Structure 1
Amino acid sequence: MEQKLTARPDTSDYRALLAQATPLIDVRAPVEFTQGALPAALNLPLMNNEERAAVGTCYKQQGQQAALALGHRLVQGETREQRLAAWKAACLRHPQGYLYCARGGLRSHIVQQWLKESGVDYPLVIGGYKALRQAAADAIDALARRPLVLVGGCTGSGKTLLVREMATGVDLEALARHRGSSFGRTLTAQLSQASFENCLAGDLLAREAVWQTLPSPFWVLEDEGRTIGANHLPAALREQMACSPVAVVEEPFERRLERLGQEYFVAMQQAWCEAYGEEAGWREFGDYLHQGLYAIRRRLGLQRFAALADIQAQALSRHQQTGRHEAHFDWLIPLLKEYYDPMYRYQLEKKSANIVFRGDYAQVKAWLAERYGG
C-alpha cells in the first residue's frame, strides 16, 4: 500500500525553516543550488543546467508560453517519471518538509502539481529561495549585532573546542568547513558565500531559544579574521566582533603541540586514508601538508620555506613508515615560533584594549560560564 502524506499548507515562516533545519526539496538547477542553498536542502531539479539554459534562451526570444512549452517537451516521458519518482521518495522520507524553487513560481508549482496528480500532497515555500535568502540575511543582521565575546589564543590553544562547549557558542569554522589557517582545509569542500551565510543564519536562529534563557546572554565566537578560507564574515558580524571583549586562552606550548598533533597529523591522516584508501590517502595527506606550507612561502621567505618543506617531507616519510606523527614537530615547532605565534600576538596586540580575561583553557571556560551564562 502506498504511503499517504497529511496535507499541509504552503509556508512563509522562513525563520522557522532556517532555525529548525527543516528538510527542503530544492527543484532549481544544480548551478543555482551550488551558488546558494539552504542547510537541509536536497537538490532534485525540475530541469538540469542545460535544460534550464535552453528554456531561459527561449523565454528571452519567444516569451513565457513558448518557454513553458519547451520545458514540458524537455521534461517528459521517462525523464519526467524518473524525476517524479525521486521527488516522491524524498517527500516520503521527509514528510514534514517543503519544496521550493527560485522565487516560488512556475517550477515549484509544476512539481507540486505533478506530485499531487501522483497522489502526494506536498507544500512549497512561498517566495522560494529568494525569500529564504532574504530571511537569512535579515536574521544575521539582527542577531549578529547582539553582545558577544571572543575567545582568542595562539594556534592549538583549544579555542574551537571551547566555543563548541558553550551553549551560545557559534563555531564559525565548522560552518565555513575550514579551520582558518593555511592548513585549514578539510576533506569537505567549502560552500559558496551565500550557502555559508544561510548556515550561519540557521545556527544563530537555532540557538536563539537558548539565548533567551540565559541571565546575561552573549554569543561566544572564536577570534577570527575577516575571512575563513574562501568565506568572508558578514559585515554586521565583523563590526560587532571588532568592538567585543576578548578572553585569551594561554596554554603551555607542549599542550598546544599535543592538540595540534592529534588534530592535524593523526586525525587528518586517518581521514584522508578513510576517504581515499591507504596508498592514495597518504599521498593526499602529504599534498595537504605541502600545500599548507606552500601557501605561506612568501611570508616565510623562499629559503626558509624550502628548508621547512624538506623537513616536512622527511617527517611524512617517517610518519608513514613508523605510524608515529611526532617527527612532524621538527617543522611545526619552528613554524609556530617563527610565524604563527608572532603573527597572532601582533594581531591580538591591536585588540589589547578589548582583552578582559586571560587564563588557561579550564580557567577561561569557567570564567565564561560564570560571567556570561554560557
Structure 2
Amino acid sequence: MNDIQTIQINEIDSDSHLLFDVRSPKEYEEYHIPGAKCLSIFSNDERAEIGTIYKQISKEQAIERGLEIAAPKLPELLKKIKNEMVNNPDKQVVIYCARGGMRSKSIAQTMSILGIDCLQLDGGIRSYRKQIEKMLEEYAQNPKKIIVIEGYTGTMKTKFLEKLQDEGYPVINLEGMASHKGSIFGRIGEDPASQKKFESRLFERLKALKDSPVLIIESESKRIGRVVVPEFLLEGKYSGTRIHIDMPFGMRVKYICDVYDPLFHREEIEEAVLKLSKRIPFPIMTEIEEALTQQDYEKVVSFLLENYYDPKYEFAEQKYESQCIKVCGDSFDYLYNEIKNEINKIL
C-alpha cells in the first residue's frame, strides 16, 4: 500500500480543508482542532482494550484486534465523510489522530482506495498542541498591555466583556473559555473545559488578536474550575490598568439569582453552598441553610456575598498597586458606556 501524502499543521486552512479526528470520543471531547469532525474508529472502551493488549501482550495482537473492531465500521466511516463533503465540495479531506500514527494513516489510506483523496496530518493533534505551547511561551516572553475589568462578585463583569467583544474590543473571556463562571456555582449549567481545550480556545483567540497591542480580561484567580490561567495573564492583572465596577448590592444579588436560576438548579446550588460550611461562621451558615430550606435564594446570595465573597475580594484587592479607575452606576447600559469610555481613553 502506497504511503499517504501528509500535510503540516501550519498549512491547515479551514477554508480549504475538511478535518476528521479519528481518535476516541473521550480524546475528541478533551480537545480537538477547531472545526474538526469526530470520526472515531474505536469507542472509549475499545481504545482501552487495544491499549491493554498492546502493553500486556504484543503490538501485533493489538493491531489484529484493532482491525477486527475497525473493519465492520468502514462503510459507516466512509458515509460520514461523504456526507460532510456534500456541504464542502471544494475542501480536501484531512485525517488526524493523536500523533500522526497508525489510526490516521490506515483510515486515510483506506479512504483513498475507496476514492476519497485524503491527506494525513503530520504529527497528529500533537502538532497542534505544540503550536499552542509555542504561542503561549511567546506571550509569556513578550506580554501585552492588559486592561482588567474588576469588581465584587455579581457586578456583571462577564456580561460587560461579552458585549465589548461583540463590538470588536480585544477581549479574552477566560470564564467563557473555561466554561466555568469562576465561583462555587461556576460549573452549574456548564460543561467545564479541560486544560487543553481551554488553552486551545485561548490560542485561537490570541491568534485573532495578534495585531492588538492591548488585551482586556476579567480579574480572575489562578484557577477557574478545572483550568489554570497562564502566568502572563495573571501578571498582567496586577500590572495592568484596572477598571473597577461598583453597583448597588441588591442589583448584584438579583443578577446572580438570574444567572444561576436557583429554582431550576436547586440541588446543585445546595451542594455548592454546603461545601463552604467550614469557611463561614456556624451561626451564619445556620441562617443560610434555613434560607435554602425556604428557597429564599436572594437571602442565600446576600449572606454569601456579605460573609464570604466580599471579604475575600477585599483581601485580594490589597495586593494590587496598579492604577484603578472606578465606574459607578445602577444600570447596565450606563455602566457599560462608562466602561467603554474609559477603555477608549486607554486605547
Query: What's the TM-score once normalised by structure 1's chain length?
Result: 0.78
Aligned partner of 1:104 among 100, 106, 130: 100
Pick closer, same or farther for the CA change 1:67–1:186 going to 2, 3 Å.
Answer: same
Q: Does residue 335 of the first structure (1) align with residue 304 of the second (2)?
A: yes
**Deviation at 1:225?**
0.1
Partner of 1:356: 324
Partner of 2:81: 87
Deviation digits for residues 50-82 of structure 1 (CA, Å, limit 9, x no counterpart): 443444445456765554344223322x33222
Mapping 1:204-215, distance limit 5 Å:
204-209=206-211, 211=212
Using CA pairs under 8 Å that are at least 6 residues apart, name the structure with larger relative contact order, 1 or 2. Answer: 1
Partner of 1:272: none
Partner of 1:159: 157
- The answer (yes or no) to whether the contact 1:248–1:358 under 8 Å persists in 2 is yes
Local SS of the residue matching 2:98: coil
Pick closer, same or farther for the CA change 1:115–1:15 going to 2, 3 Å.
Answer: closer
- The answer (yes or no) to whether the contact 2:8–2:122 under 8 Å persists in 1 is yes
User: Match for 2:77: what amino acid?
Assistant: R
Local SS of the residue matching 1:354: coil
Mapping 1:92-241, distance limit 5 Å:
92-94=86-88, 96=91, 98-143=94-139, 145-164=143-162, 165-166=164-165, 167-209=169-211, 211=212, 217-241=213-237
Residue identity over aligned pairs, in percent, reads: 25
- The answer (yes or no) to whether the contact 1:99–1:123 under 8 Å persists in 2 is yes
Unaligned stretches of 5+ residues in structure 2 = 329-334
Would you tell me which structure has more helix in proportion to its own residues? 1
Deviation digits for residues 119-170 of structure 1 (CA, Å, limit 9, x no counterpart): 2223332211111011112222324622212111011212112222141001
Mapping 1:49-64, distance limit 5 Å:
49-60=44-55
User: Match for 2:338: what amino acid?
Assistant: Q
**Deviation at 1:118?**
2.4
Mapping 1:226-305, distance limit 5 Å:
226-265=222-261, 282=264, 285-305=265-285
Larger mean CA deviation between 293-302 and 172-181 belongs to: 293-302
Q: Does residue 370 of the first structure (1) align with residue 345 of the second (2)?
A: yes
Larger mean CA deviation between 133-142 and 67-76 belongs to: 67-76
Find the aligned partners of 1:238 and 1:69 in 2 and give their Cα distance.
49
- The answer (yes or no) to whether the contact 1:25–1:90 under 8 Å persists in 2 is no
Find the aligned partners of 1:57 and 1:292 in 2 and give their Cα distance.
38
User: Match for 1:363: what amino acid?
Assistant: E
Aligned partner of 2:43 among 45, 48, 52: 48
Aligned partner of 2:294 among 314, 317, 334: 314
**Deviation at 1:340?**
1.2
Find the aligned partners of 2:41 and 2:129 in 1 and give their Cα distance.
20
Pick closer, same or farther for the CA change 1:336–1:193 going to 2, 3 Å.
Answer: same
**Deviation at 1:289?**
1.7
Pick closer, same or farther for the CA change 1:15–1:306 going to 2, 3 Å.
Answer: farther
Pick closer, same or farther for the CA change 1:17–1:193 going to 2, 3 Å.
Answer: farther
Deviation digits for residues 319-357 of structure 1 (CA, Å, limit 9, x no counterpart): xxxxxxxx4222222221222112112111211x11331
- The answer (yes or no) to whether the contact 1:248–1:355 under 8 Å persists in 2 is no
User: Match for 2:226: what amino acid?
Assistant: A
Local SS of the residue matching 1:306: helix
Query: What's the TM-score once normalised by structure 2's chain length?
Result: 0.83
Partner of 2:331: none
Count residues in correspondence: 327
Find the aligned partners of 1:17 and 1:51 in 2 and give their Cα distance.
32
Pick closer, same or farther for the CA change 1:70–1:53 going to 2, 3 Å.
Answer: same
Pick closer, same or farther for the CA change 1:226–1:71 going to 2, 3 Å.
Answer: same
**Deviation at 1:93?**
4.5
**Deviation at 1:223?**
0.3
